[in-house]
Structure 1
Amino acid sequence: MLYLLSIFSFFLANVPNPDAPKKTNLTVEVHNVRVFTGAVYVAIFKPGKDFPEGKPIEGKKVDASHERVQIAFSVEPGEYAIAVYHDENSNGKMDKRIFGIPKEPFGFSNDFRPKLSAPKFSDCEVKVGDSGKTVRIKLEKMSG
């Protein structure tokens, strides 16, 4: 009897939930990795006040081992903004100069390049549909 209950509970646990939100793939390709040390961090944000300095809905890192690295996320279709930086010295943070200017390479979705202040969500917004999306971001290092 216990055996039958175990089988029954296995099947119930694997029945798809029709109310669960549908997920799709969001692939982020990061180009222009120039130094093959440290890690590339990718953070994705939903619309709101958190972008780009706040808490992302998800973040991942990958070793900076090639000129181009790729990271995949499973997300609900919708609007997102993406922030990326290359932690060249592996200290776990984005190193900055005076006035908060990044010392390490960084990038945003839509390859948005901020001039005097951090970007707004709308500057970097990408729409992810049911069939997924691939976003390419080129790392840049500010001179100075």
Structure 2
Amino acid sequence: MFYLLSLFGFLLSSPATPDTPKKTNLTIEVHNVRALTGAVYVAVFKPGKDFPEGKPIVGKKVDVTHDRVLTTFSVEPGSYAIAVYHDENGNGKMDKRMFGIPKEPYGFSNDFRPKLSAPKFSDCEFSVGDSGRTVRIKLDGI
């Protein structure tokens, strides 16, 4: 009995640990990379008004060495949307034609293909659970 009371007292006197959000892996596979030059830019967004051209919660530049690019982020479980583009000429920006039409390949989660305007978050939204998620995105758009 004394042992149990001592253990209980120890647990009560232990410093509280802050609640840290659980993180999991979000892996993104970008397919259909047609030129082995430049880099693929990957941007991950949470719900909000920033998608697809605003500030992502995380992003990464991945040099192209194969016809497929693979990258992983550590994120909290929840809803996300992804926008990617292939900067083929390596100038650090997405080149566009008249009326803002991209000159370089791009893609979105859910392989959403916009018709006349940029997609909405809901068009590209997907969920990441506690066990993580892999999302495949096909580059397109020229």
TM-score by length of 1: 0.86
4+ runs deviating over 4 angstroms: none
Q: Are 2:73 and 1:101 aligned?
A: no
What is the match of residue 70 of structure 2?
70
Amino acid at match of 2:90: S
1:7 equivalent in structure 2: none
Letter in 1 for 2:29: E
Higher Rg of the two aligned structures: 2
Question: How far does the alpha carbon of each residue in 1:29-60 deviate from its partner, in whole angstroms, 9 at most, with x for none?
Answer: 00000000000000000000000010000100
Specify the alignment match of 1:5 in structure 2.
none
Q: Which moved more, 1:62-71 or 1:72-81?
A: 62-71
> Equivalents in 1 of 2:67, 2:90: separation in Å?
17
CA separation in 2, counterparts of 1:96 and 1:60?
21
TM-score (norm 2): 0.87
Mapped to 2, the partners of 1:51 and 1:63 lie a distance apart of 23
What is the Cα-based RMSD across aligned positions, in Å? Answer: 1.2
Partner of residue 87, structure 2: 87
Alignment correspondent of 1:115: 115
Identity %: 82
Residue 61 of structure 1: how far off its partner (Å): 1.2
The residue aligned with 1:58 is: 58
Query: Equivalent residue of 1:131, what SS?
Result: coil
Amino acid at match of 2:132: G
- Partner of 1:20: helix, strand, or coil? coil
**Where do 5+ consecutive residues of structure 1 fail to align?**
1-16
Counterpart secondary structure, 1:59: strand
What CA distance in whole angstroms lies between the structure 2 residues aligned with 1:82 and 1:136?
10
Amino acid at match of 1:69: V
Structure 2: tracts of 5 or more residues without a match: 1-16
Q: Which residue of 2 aligns with 1:23?
A: 23
